[in-house]
């Protein structure tokens, strides 16, 4: 039976201070630009941007203003995600002005909360009689979950209980409405989120019933008779979003079979990874072998069959969804920013259950590529969809690619992704380390310090990293007194067999100390002990499993955690006309002037000439190739130099006899 072997917990945000040449700029951008910009957007004060209506709805629901509800049925969640981001930011960088802004919003939420504890501006303003009549479509518990996450974060950041008390009243009310008992609704939400939020609420309050309610939602999902179908019949076979009379597609909601029987990732990818996150959370607290197995199988299915090399997931924009094994088209991809963030959530939970570096490898892959790639340097433009191949003309003129944007657009009416990036970046410190009673795990190489206790002994670990352009990491240990404990250091997948680990200058035998991708160093650590890790700087040429049809004959370039891409602006030709040579002699060089500085990779390739083709579309003659220098830039920087073609997977000239 599967059990948890070496559980650990994240080192909390307030115990981690990040100070990193690469990442601090993103954390700062989120704090100084993204959070203030989103605050203005939520107030409908950004000229030329579609109004969010989020604050306006709240003011109406609070009785402070008159008017109509505006925006999507789930509009409240944008505000909640912003508040959560603001809370994390305050936790690591106190800001009285920002705290006042959040407090003002909390006051309005309190005013808008119904006497029974219910809170949702859509159903309060627009359809009060329809509360809990369409869980499938209407995101009521989803919005509740995001408010709970914001409340927990704000309480942890400030110690203020008002919002926490609001969400506890709301959670108590939900607990009175949903559950297995007769007279309660035997249901669950169309968009998973409350499940993971209730675990957080349980953690901070210690109230077991929140954990049980989360477990109930997970256990009830996908059982027969099916709640969504019964609900659909009760509504007269209608749906909120369309006039179709078709029943809901249960796999879109991961409710096609009971959750613990699921082995393949299906349906809307954000919903999926939010659910898997909650499953792992619950498994961590219940050591439930069935849930653990489902989590591991779903993880494996995603990572080994359905994940883009950029850490993106979701192969189709129809339903923003997974499709099936090895179906990873690069140019009709969805790869929503929120889905990669959810995958990072899931990875962090899996790391807490099983310290296996694959989880951290994926977390890092999603973070360095899709997540930061989704955000423009100005903090005001975001990709929701993160393609691996773009032809701007096709985005405009082929309707099957209209969802693929060649440059980062501004804030959307459905602004799920930008506040999700904000809350992840402002809580980034939580993702670097986990600890157990005697072990500190280092999952990410991001500079800063972590403060933990082993027994009664406070320990500080100071990390320096020059990733991703360099490859050197060092850590200095500063325990208040000498004591024996373990530091477990991740050896990234991209550096396997090429890492050198030293303690106080002495090289360790990695074969002897590495298990599941972590080097376990147990000793009595003294103040000033140092640990250094030299990782690989090799440029890797990646190939895909032969069943991944979309990448046949193509390679991707990776160096460290950074995946590269080609843009046509650097080649004066469609990237599809370029081949990487079979011995490309790839060289990395830092270009300080490229979009704030980045390492560029150059090498040898071939270019198909188009001059002599004239009017021919097809012909029976060989193509003319001439040697060219190919130039690859980090994927996360694509689309920042105007519209142009981009590809992660590029053709290679195979080495054949």
271 lies in the site for a second copy, by CB under 8 A: no
CB of 623 to a second copy, least distance (A): 6
319: helix, strand or coil: coil
Tokens of 67: 């008017």
626 near a second copy, judged by CB under 8 A: no
Of 212 and 300, which CB lies nearer to a second copy in the complex structure? 300
Give alpha helix (H) positions in 183-223: 194-205, 208-220
Q: Is 240 near a second copy (CB under 8 A)?
A: no
- Report the alpha-carbon distance of residue 561 to residue 369 in Å, rounded: 8
Looking at the Cβ atoms of 87 and 566, the one nearer to a second copy is 566
Distance from C-alpha of 13 to C-alpha of 588, rounded to nearest angstrom: 35
Candidates 107-115, 187-195, 424-432, 615-623; binding stretch for a second copy (CB under 8 A)? 615-623
Q: Tokens at residue 426, please?
A: 């402002």
Per the CB < 8 A criterion, the answer to whether 564 and 557 are in contact is yes
Answer for which of 34, 579, 601, 628 binds a second copy (CB under 8 A) is 579
Strand order in the sheet with 16-18: 16-18, 448-454, 457-465, 472-479, 529-534, 500-503, 506-507
Least distance (Å) between residue 309 CB and a second copy: 5
Residues 327 to 346 in contact with a second copy, rule: CB under 8 A: 327, 329, 332
CB atoms within 10 A of CB 224: 8
Distance of closest approach, residue 646 Cβ to a second copy, in angstroms:
12
Q: Which of 300, 377, 460, 641 binds a second copy (CB under 8 A)?
A: 300
Q: Which is nearer to a second copy, 509 or 619 (CB)?
A: 619
Helix locations, 221-262, DSSP H: 227-234
Confirm or reject binding of residue 629 to a second copy (CB under 8 A): no
Contact 108, 162 (CB under 8 A): no
**What is the rounded distance in angstroms from the CA atom of residue 657 to the CA atom of residue 655?**
7
Alpha-carbon Rg for the chain, nearest whole angstrom, is 25
Among the listed residues 100, 582, 596, 629, the single contact to a second copy using CB under 8 A: 582
* C-beta of 234 vs 318, nearer to a second copy: 318
Binding a second copy by CB under 8 A: which of 246, 592, 621, 626? Answer: 621
Output 183 or 627, the one with its CB closest to a second copy: 627
Using the rule CB under 8 A, which residue among 47, 115, 206, 654 binds a second copy?
654
Tell me, what DSSP letter sits at residue 126?
Answer: T
Q: Please say which residue, 396 or 591, places its beta carbon nearer to a second copy.
A: 396
From the list 319, 310, 272, the residue with the least C-alpha distance to 294 is: 272
> Applying CB under 8 A, which part among 11-19, 134-142, 471-479, 538-546 lies near a second copy?
538-546
Does 72 bind a second copy (CB under 8 A)? Our answer is no
Contact between 241 and a second copy (CB under 8 A)? no
Catalytic-residue membership of 320: yes
User: Active-site residue among 193, 320, 364, 430?
Assistant: 320
Q: For a second copy, which stretch binds (CB under 8 A), given 221-229, 274-282, 316-324, 515-523? A: 316-324
3-state SS, residue 461 = strand
Q: Which of 108-116, 216-224, 523-531, 570-578 is the region at the interface with a second copy (rule: CB under 8 A)? A: 570-578
How far is it, in rounded angstroms, from Cα 98 to Cα 102? 6
Q: Which of the 8 DSSP states describes residue 368? A: I
- CA–CA gap between residue 584 and residue 582 (Å, rounded): 6
d(CA 17, CA 15): 7
Q: Which regions of 316-406 does DSSP assign to beta strands (E)?
A: 389-390
CB distance 32 to 86 below 8 Å: no
Q: Give me the residues that bind a second copy (CB under 8 A), please.
A: 243, 300, 303-305, 307, 309, 315-319, 323-324, 327, 329, 332, 391, 393-394, 397-400, 540-549, 552-553, 556, 558, 573-574, 576-577, 579, 581-582, 606, 608-610, 613, 615-623, 625, 651, 653-656
Report the catalytic residues: 320, 416
């Amino acid at each position: 039976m599967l059990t948890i072997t070496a559980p650990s917990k994240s080192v909390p945000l307030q115990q981690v201070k990040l100070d990193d040449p690469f990442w601090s700029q993103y954390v700062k951008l989120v704090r100084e630009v993204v959070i203030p910009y989103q605050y203005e957007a939520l107030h409908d004060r950004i000229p030329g941007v579609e109004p969010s209506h989020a604050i306006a709805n709240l003011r109406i629901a609070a009785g402070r203003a008159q008017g109509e509800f505006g925006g999507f049925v789930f509009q409240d969640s944008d505000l909640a995600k912003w508040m959560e981001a603001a809370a994390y930011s305050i936790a690591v960088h106190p800001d009285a002005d920002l705290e006042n802004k959040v407090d003002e919003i909390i006051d309005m939420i309190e005013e808008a909360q119904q006497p029974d504890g219910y809170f949702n501006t859509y159903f309060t303003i627009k359809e009060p009689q329809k509360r809990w009549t369409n869980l499938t479509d209407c995101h009521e518990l989803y919005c509740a979950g995001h408010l709970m996450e914001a409340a927990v974060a704000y309480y942890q950041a400030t110690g203020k209980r008002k919002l926490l008390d609001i969400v506890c009243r709301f959670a108590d009310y939900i607990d009175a409405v949903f559950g297995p008992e007769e007279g309660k609704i035997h249901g669950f939400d169309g968009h998973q989120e409350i499940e993971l939020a209730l675990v957080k609420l349980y953690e901070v309050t210690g109230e077991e019933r929140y954990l049980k309610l989360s477990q109930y939602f997970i256990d009830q999902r996908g059982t027969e008779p099916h709640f969504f179908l019964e609900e659909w019949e009760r509504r007269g076979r209608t749906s909120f979003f369309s006039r179709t009379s078709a029943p809901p597609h249960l796999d879109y909601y991961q409710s096609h079979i009971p959750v613990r029987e699921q082995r393949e990732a299906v349906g809307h990818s954000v919903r999926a990874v939010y659910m898997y996150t909650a499953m792992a959370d619950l498994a961590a607290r219940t050591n439930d072998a069935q849930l653990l197995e489902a989590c591991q199988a779903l993880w494996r299915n995603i990572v080994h069959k359905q994940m883009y090399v950029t850490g993106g997931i979701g192969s189709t924009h129809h339903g923003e969804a997974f499709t099936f094994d090895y179906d990873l088209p690069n140019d009709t991809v969805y790869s929503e920013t929120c889905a990669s963030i959810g995958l990072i959530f899931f990875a962090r939970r899996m790391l807490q259950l099983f310290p296996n570096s694959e989880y951290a490898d994926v977390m890092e892959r999603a973070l360095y590529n899709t997540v930061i790639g989704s955000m423009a340097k100005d903090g005001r433009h975001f990709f929701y969809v993160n393609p691996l191949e773009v032809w701007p003309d096709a985005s405009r003129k082929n309707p099957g690619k209209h969802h693929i944007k060649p440059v980062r657009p501004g804030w959307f009416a459905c602004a799920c992704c930008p506040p999700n990036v904000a809350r992840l970046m402002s809580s980034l410190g939580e993702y670097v380390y986990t600890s157990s009673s005697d072990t500190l795990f280092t999952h990410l190489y991001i500079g800063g310090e972590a403060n933990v206790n082993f027994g009664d002994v406070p320990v500080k670990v100071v990390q320096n990293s020059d990733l991703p352009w360099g490859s050197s990491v060092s850590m200095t240990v500063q325990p208040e007194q000498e004591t024996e404990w373990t530091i477990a250091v991740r050896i990234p997948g991209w550096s396997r067999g090429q890492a050198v680990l030293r303690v106080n200058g002495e090289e360790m035998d990695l074969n002897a100390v590495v298990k599941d991708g972590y080097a376990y160093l147990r000793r009595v650590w003294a103040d000033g002990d140092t640990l250094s890790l030299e990782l690989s700087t090799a440029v890797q040429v990646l190939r895909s499993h032969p069943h991944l049809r979309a990448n046949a004959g193509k390679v991707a370039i990776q160096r460290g955690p950074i995946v590269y891409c080609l843009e046509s602006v650097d080649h004066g030709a469609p990237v599809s006309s370029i081949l990487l040579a079979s011995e490309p002699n790839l060289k990395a060089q830092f270009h300080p002037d490229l979009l704030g500085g980045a390492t560029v990779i150059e090498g040898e390739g071939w270019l198909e000439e188009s001059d002599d083709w004239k009017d021919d579309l097809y012909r029976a003659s060989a193509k003319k190739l001439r040697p060219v220098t190919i130039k690859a830039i980090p994927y996360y920087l694509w689309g920042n130099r105007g519209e142009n073609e981009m590809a992660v997977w590029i053709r290679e000239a195979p080495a054949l006899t």
